[in-house]
């Protein structure tokens, strides 16, 4: 996709599949002409599209055959999403209808939009900066209401404003250095090194403040990962079914029934959690089961929380415990299953607590304790994060990495200041930090970065 997007584009702007309403979006210099050529008003007095007003009528194909009854609206640039003349046609949301309407629009001269091209045009036309453009995609793909709120704050332009303010402070310091470097014969008073260091430290503190929420809000932005681990027949698959409220995993008394891993998604009071049922821990000569066990170990190492399933009717044995978790019990919750049956003696609950595990007793079969377990999973994954602050500004991964690079430049600048490095070389460090901040808002972002960002959008956005 070229960053210099031209011509008139069109695409289906609503999700794939059947729905009550679907939208075809047309944007570009010929949007009004193309929209008018496929639309026929239901009013005899219709004299053309009036801006920002819905018009009732129908859309016809190249042969003049009506495709569907529609509502259409014209939004002249720059007062549209893209900043260009835009027409949106609201029709019934069936796949065949949407495809037919889009085909009619393309036959009139529009071309099919590339992924993210509408938002790219909004960025190129100054309707939003790059942080806002990225926030559009984050809003669309938000896995939780908390993630949507975090994206909404950035969509308002708050992050871009903070980055611009930070960059201007650094540019001011840089300008003071440049004056001394460019006009040395004028004996201008140079910015004292201690004042320069103070200014750089303040900027570094602001960057650290922005970065502080990245890891803390990760679960809200990306969702959590909980992995079911434990010996065969401990009840992992039964618990997965109980948490989902439906039979997703096969449950039998035959050891090794789950040879691969099964992944599903839970919504725990607004928090999206991927829950994975892994193959039961045991020695096996089956190559497929061994591969499943290894994948399970990899997932366990990545998990935010490991649910260690224990059969409460059997005495605790050494191989009940995952050796990978023995030194990392903070990521583990021991779930003692089969509370509907008589507990083994010695009691595995007491033994696990003595070993330092947090425990919970449930019955996957009857559902006892399963609701409490869902709450505990949510609580553990969000430990230290809390509920999202409605006004908090949190960078995404790309923005955070760029901020970290800028912070590294500023730290090296502080080291150079303390070594009394010449002013012109100090200015190079400041220029590099400012350039990195400009990449975040899109002022000087390389084309390959823009292509990478917008290629991840859906075609209609």
How many Å apart are CA 9 and CA 39, to the nearest integer?
17
Q: What is the pLDDT of residue 393?
A: 92
HSE on the CB side for 208, CA within 13 Å?
A: 9
How many Å apart are CA 302 and CA 291, to the nearest integer?
17
How many Å apart are CA 361 and CA 373, to the nearest integer?
9
Q: What is the pLDDT of residue 400?
A: 95
Contact (CB, 8 A) for 292 and 260: yes
Regarding the domain with residue range 221-381, which homologous superfamily does it belong to in the CATH classification? P-loop containing nucleotide triphosphate hydrolases (3.40.50.300)
> Please, what is the angle between helix 158-182 and helix 145-155, to 10°?
40
For domain 137-216+394-442, give the CATH number: 1.20.120.430
Predicted TM-score (pTM) of the model is 0.80
Q: What is the pLDDT of residue 461?
A: 76
Which single residue is written with the structure tokens 């950035």?
154
Q: What angle do CA 252, 268, 328 make, to 5 degrees?
A: 75
Contact (CB, 8 A) for 203 and 169: yes
Contact (CB, 8 A) for 49 and 35: yes
What class is the 9-129 domain? alpha beta
Residue boundaries of the structural domains of the chain:
9-129, 137-216+394-442, 221-381
Q: What is the pLDDT of residue 54?
A: 96
Residue 7 backbone class (left: φ over 0; alpha: ψ -120 to 50; beta: rest): left
Q: What is the pLDDT of residue 278?
A: 78
How many Å apart are CA 443 and CA 75, to the nearest integer?
27
Q: Where are the beta strands (DSSP E) in 50-85?
A: 55-60, 66-75
Q: What is the pLDDT of residue 291?
A: 54
List, in order, residues 6 or more apart from 446 with CB less than 8 Å away: 439
With 0-12 CB in 10 A as exposed, 13-18 as middle and 19+ as buried, what is 269? exposed
How many Å apart are CA 311 and CA 300, to the nearest integer?
19
Q: What is the pLDDT of residue 13?
A: 93
- The pair of structure tokens assigned to 156 is 């308002």
Separate counts of helices (H) and strands (E) for the chain: 15, 13
List, in order, residues 6 or more apart from 322 with CB less than 8 Å away: 229, 230, 281, 300, 306, 308, 332
Average pLDDT per block of 10 residues along the chain, 461 residues long:
77 88 96 96 93 96 91 96 97 94 96 93 94 93 88 94 95 77 54 88 95 89 88 83 68 43 85 82 50 65 89 86 74 92 90 91 92 92 78 92 96 93 87 94 82 79 76
Q: What is the pLDDT of residue 290?
A: 53
């Amino acid at each position: 996709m070229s960053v210099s997007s031209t011509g008139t584009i069109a695409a289906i702007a609503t999700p794939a599949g059947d729905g009550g309403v679907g939208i075809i979006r047309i944007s570009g210099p010929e949007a009004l002409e193309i929209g008018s050529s496929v639309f026929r008003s239901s009013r005899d007095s219709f004299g053309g599209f009036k801006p920002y007003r819905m018009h009732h009528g129908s859309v016809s194909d190249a042969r003049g055959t009506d495709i569907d009854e529609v509502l259409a609206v014209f939004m002249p640039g720059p007062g549209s999403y893209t900043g260009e003349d835009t027409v949106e046609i609201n029709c019934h949301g069936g796949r065949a209808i949407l495809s037919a309407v889009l085909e009619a629009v393309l036959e009139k001269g529009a071309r099919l939009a590339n992924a993210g091209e509408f938002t790219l045009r909004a960025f190129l036309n100054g309707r939003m900066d790059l942080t806002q453009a990225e926030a559009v995609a984050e809003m669309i793909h938000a896995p939780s209401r908390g993630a949507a709120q975090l994206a909404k704050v950035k969509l308002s332009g708050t992050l871009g404003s903070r980055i611009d303010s930070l960059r201007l402070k650094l540019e001011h310091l840089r300008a003071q250095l440049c004056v001394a470097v460019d006009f040395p014969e004028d004996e201008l008073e140079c910015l004292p090194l201690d004042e320069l260091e103070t200014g750089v430290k303040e900027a570094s503190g602001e960057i650290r403040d922005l970065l502080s929420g990245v890891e803390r809000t990760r679960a809200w932005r990306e969702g959590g990962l909980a992995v079911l681990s434990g010996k065969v027949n401990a009840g992992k698959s039964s618990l997965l079914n109980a948490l989902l409220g439906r039979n997703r995993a096969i449950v039998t008394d035959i050891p090794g029934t789950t040879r691969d891993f099964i992944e599903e998604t839970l919504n725990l009071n607004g928090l999206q959690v991927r829950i994975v049922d892994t193959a039961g821990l045991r020695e096996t000569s089956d190559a497929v089961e061994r591969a499943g066990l290894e994948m399970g170990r990899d997932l366990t190492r990545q998990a935010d929380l490991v649910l260690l399933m224990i059969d409460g009717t059997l005495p605790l044995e050494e191989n009940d415990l995952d050796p990978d978790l023995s030194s990392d019990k903070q990521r583990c919750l021991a779930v003692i299953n089969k509370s509907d049956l008589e507990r083994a003696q010695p009691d595995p609950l007491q033994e696990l607590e003595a070993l330092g595990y947090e425990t919970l007793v449930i019955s996957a079969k009857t559902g006892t304790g399963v609701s409490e377990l869902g709450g505990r999973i949510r609580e553990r994954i969000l430990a230290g994060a809390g509920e999202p602050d409605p006004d908090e500004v949190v960078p995404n991964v790309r923005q955070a990495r760029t901020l970290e690079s800028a912070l590294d430049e500023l730290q090296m600048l502080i080291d150079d200041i303390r070594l009394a490095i010449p002013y012109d070389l100090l200015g190079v460090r400041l220029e590099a930090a400012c350039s990195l901040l400009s990449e975040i808002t899109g002022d000087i972002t390389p084309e390959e970065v823009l292509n990478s960002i917008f290629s991840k959008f859906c075609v209609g956005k």
